[in-house]
Structure 1
Amino acid sequence: MRDDELGRLLSDAFDAQARGAFGEHTQAPPPRFADELAAPAHRRWVRVGAPLVAAAAVLALVLTVAFISSGSDDGHRRLAGPSAAPSALASAPAASSSAAALAGPGRDTAVHVKLLNSDGSDYGVGMPVIAFFSKKIKNAKPLQDATTVTVDGKPATGAWYFEYSSANKGYPIEGHFRLENYWPANSRIHVAIPVEGLSAGTGLSYDNSLALDFRTHDRIVSTVDDSTHRMTVTDNGKKYGTFPVSLGASSTPTTRGTKVIMEKGRSICMSGPGYSECGIKWTQRLTYGGEYLHSAPWNIANIDDGRDSSNGCTNLLPTDAQKLYGFLGIGDVVIYPNANGPAMTLGAGYGDWNVNWSTWRTGGLVPTS
Structure 2
Amino acid sequence: MGMPVIAYFSKRIKSGKALQDATTVTVNGQAAKGAWFFESSAAGNGPVEGHFRLQNYWPAHAKVHVGIPAKGLSAGPGLAYDDSLTLDFSTGPKTVAIVNDATHKMTVTSDGKLYGTFGVSLGATKTPTFRGTKVIMEQDRTTCMHDTNNTYYECGIKWDQRLTYSGEYLHAAPWNVSNINNGVNSSNGCTNLLPAVAEKLWHFMRVGDVVQYPNADGPAMQLGSGYGDWNVNWPQWQTGGLVSTTA
- With the length of structure 1 as denominator, give the TM-score of the two structures: 0.66
- Partner of 1:279: helix, strand, or coil? strand
Describe how 1:89-108 pairs up with structure 2 within 5 A.
none
Partner of 1:205: 80
Using the alignment, how far apart are the partners of 1:356 and 1:211 within structure 2? 26
CA deviation map 1:129-184 (0-9, x unaligned): 01101111111000000000000111000000000114245x11000000000000
- Name 1:147's counterpart in structure 2: 23
Counterpart Cα distance in 1 of 2:9 and 2:42: 11
1:318-329 equivalent positions in 2, closer than 5 A? 318-329=195-206
More strand by share: 2
Whether the aligned pair in 2 keeps the contact of 1:254 and 1:313 (CA below 8 Å) is yes
1:282 corresponding residue in structure 2: 159
The percentage of aligned residue pairs carrying the same residue is 67
Distance in 2, matches of 1:168 and 1:149, equals 27
Separation in 1 of the partners of 2:81 and 2:234? 26
Q: Does 1:164 align with 2:32?
A: no
- Deviation of the 1:275 alpha carbon: 1.7
Q: Deviations over 1:252-296 (max 9, x none)?
A: 000000000000000110012222100000000000010000000
Query: Whole-Å Cα distance in 2 between the matches of residues 241 and 260 of structure 1?
Result: 19
1:309-360 deviations in Å (ceiling 9; x for gaps): 0000000000000000000000000000000100000000000000000000
Look up the match of 1:218.
93
CA RMSD of aligned residues (A): 0.7
Q: Is the 8 A contact 2:22 2:70 kept in 1?
A: yes
Alignment of 1:186-197 (within 5 A): 186-197=61-72
Instruction: Work out the CA distance in 2 between the residues paired with 1:279 and 1:203.
Output: 50
The residue that corresponds to 1:352 in the other structure is: 229
The DSSP-based 3-state class of the residue aligned with 1:130 is strand
- Residue 238 of structure 1: aligned partner: 113
Q: What secondary structure does 2:189 align onto? A: coil
2:170 paired residue number = 293
Equivalent-residue separation in structure 1 for 2:36 and 2:68 (angstroms): 11
- CA deviations over 1:107-145 (Å, ceiling 9, x no partner): xxxxxxxxxxxxxxxxxx101001101111111000000
For the Cα contact (< 8 Å) 2:42–2:224, is it kept in 1? no
Counterpart in the other structure of 1:271:
146
Q: Which residue of 2 aligns with 1:249?
A: 124
1:181 to 1:166, Cα distance in 2 relative to 1, 3 A: closer
Instruction: Kindly indicate which of the two structures has a greater share of residues assigned to helix.
Output: 1
Give the whole-Å Cα distance in 1 for the aligned partners of 2:176 and 2:43: 33
**What corresponds to 2:52 in structure 1?**
177
Offset from partner CA, 1:69-102 (integer Å, 9 cap, x none) = xxxxxxxxxxxxxxxxxxxxxxxxxxxxxxxxxx
2:133 is the alignment partner of 1:258? yes
For 2:152 and 2:226, locate their aligned partners in 1 and report how far apart those are by CA, in whole Å. Answer: 22
SS of corresponding position for 1:324? helix
Equivalent residues of 1:166, 1:172 under 8 A apart: no
Is the 1:187–1:217 Cα contact (8 Å) retained in structure 2? yes
TM-score normalised over the length of structure 2: 0.98
Structure 1 residue 207 displacement after superposition: 1.2
In 1, distance between residues paired with 2:81 and 2:54? 23
Q: Deviations over 1:168-211 (max 9, x none)?
A: 45x11000000000000000010010000100000001111111
SS in 2 for 1:300: helix
RCO greater where, 1 or 2, for CA within 8 Å and sep 6 or more?
2
Cα drift, residue 240 of structure 1: 0.4
Gaps of 5+ in 1: 1-124
Letter of the 2:218 partner, please give it: G
Matched, 1:126 2:2: yes
